Amino acid sequence: MLIDLVSMVAIGAATIFFVAGSAGMLRFPDVFMRLHAMTKADNLGLGLLIVGLALQASSFWVIAKLVLIWLLVLVSSTSASHLVARDALARGLRPWRNP
Amino acid sequence: MSEHEGRPVDVWWGSLVRSLPRLMVFALLWMILTGAQASSWRIGVPIVLVATAWSLSLVAPGTRLSPRGIARFVPFFLARSVVGSIDVARRALLPSMPIAPAMVRYRPRLAPSSAPAIFFINAISLLPGTLCASLEAANLHIHVVDDEAGVFEGLAELEEHVAAMFGVEISAREELGGPE
């Protein structure tokens, strides 16, 4: 019962971070800020989602697989954001500054 | 490469022992992917062996991680990424959207393009308010959400954690970098 509750809270919190990541994607002024929103908010969102799902998992191996998925997404999102940012800089895009 | 002396058998045995950690990691990955079903090893054993051989030919064994360094890095990293995510989420959702982005440069102390340096660069993007944009020989160009102080402290601390985890020595904090 308690486990179900913790699980629900974790997954609920996860959706808030996914919503925040998407809000940043739409509201932030340039590509660099949007990358911040995607890499950070979504990583914690996915982490919480995985905590919520792991609590419902039937075996250790399912939990290990969920953690493995989280690690792979961490690695790919940080590499991808680095590549996008590097390319944007190479094309001469200047970061947005506060007016 | 350092074992030109010694009998061929010793050399062979030495490289076998040094490839064991990697073999264990791939075996563990296979168990995770298959849910540790005994019947899966008929395919798993050859695949794990091929993956180990392939991995050894791509990256020679040699990098040793310090268990104590890992034990310190993981909680540090988790705590900092929670802080970073809450910070960015807050800025994205608040109606006033408080951001003051800037580019800064940071002079890393880890040896350029070594495994720890690459790990450090990737970890930067997961930390609060920093995103590694490009790297040159001596400087990292880092985009920050808010150009408040504390960015360099955080980067230096992360770099020290990474160095401890890979068991490499880095110099003391001196001039860490500055605005672009």
pLDDT digits (tens, 9 = 90+) for B127-174: 777 887 777 657 888 899 887 667 888 889 999 999 999 988 888 877
Backbone angles phi and psi of B106, in degrees to 5: -130, 135
| φ and ψ of B167, to 5 deg | 65, 35
Q: How far is A32 from chain B (nearest CA, A)?
A: 7
CATH architecture of B67-179: 2-Layer Sandwich (3.30)
d(CA B30, CA A46): 23
Beta-bridge mates of residue B178: B105
Count A/B contacts: CB-CB distance under 8 Å.
Answer: 117
Mean pLDDT, chain B, whole residue set: 85
pLDDT of B2 higher than 50? no
3-state secondary structure chain B: CCCCCCCHHHHHHHHHHHHHHHHHHHHHHHHHHHCCCHHHHHHHHHHHHHHHHHHHHHCCCCCCCCHHHHHHHHHHHHHHHHHHHHHHHHHHHCCCCCCECEEEEECCCCCCCCHHHHHHHHHHCCCCCEEEEEECCCCEEEEECECCCCHHHHHHHHHHHHHHHHCCCCCCCCCCEEEC
Distance between CA B166 and CA A43 in Å, rounded? 24
pLDDT in tens, B94-128: 999 898 898 888 888 888 878 888 889 888 887 77
B14 min Cα distance to partner chain A (Å): 30
pLDDT of residue B146: 83
CB contacts, 8 Å: A19 with chain B: 93
Residue type, B128: P
Give the whole-angstrom CA distance, residue B36 versus residue B150. 45
Range with the poorest average pLDDT among A51-65, B14-28, B29-43: B14-28
CA distances from A96 to A39, B21, B30, B101, B145 (A): 18, 46, 45, 7, 11
Contact B97/A at CB under 8 A = yes
User: Which residue would you say has higher pLDDT here, B132 or A94?
Assistant: A94
Summarize pLDDT for A34-64 with one digit per residue, the tens.
998 888 878 899 999 999 999 999 899 999 9
Kindly list the domain boundaries of chain B, sorted by start residue. Answer: 8-58, 67-179
**Does the beta-carbon distance from B133 to A32 stay under 8 Å?**
yes
> Do A32 and A85 meet the contact criterion of CB atoms below 8 Å apart?
yes
Residue B129 contacts A where some CB pair is shorter than 8 Å: yes
Q: Tokens representing B97?
A: 């959207």
Provide the residue type at B92 as one letter.
Answer: A
Question: Are B69 and B158 contacting, i.e. CB atoms less than 8 angstroms apart?
Answer: no
Domain boundaries, chain A: 2-90
Burial of A12 (0-12, 13-18, 19+ CB in 10 A): exposed
| Residue B141 to residue A89, Cβ atoms within 8 A | yes
Q: For all residues of chain A together, what is the average pLDDT?
A: 91
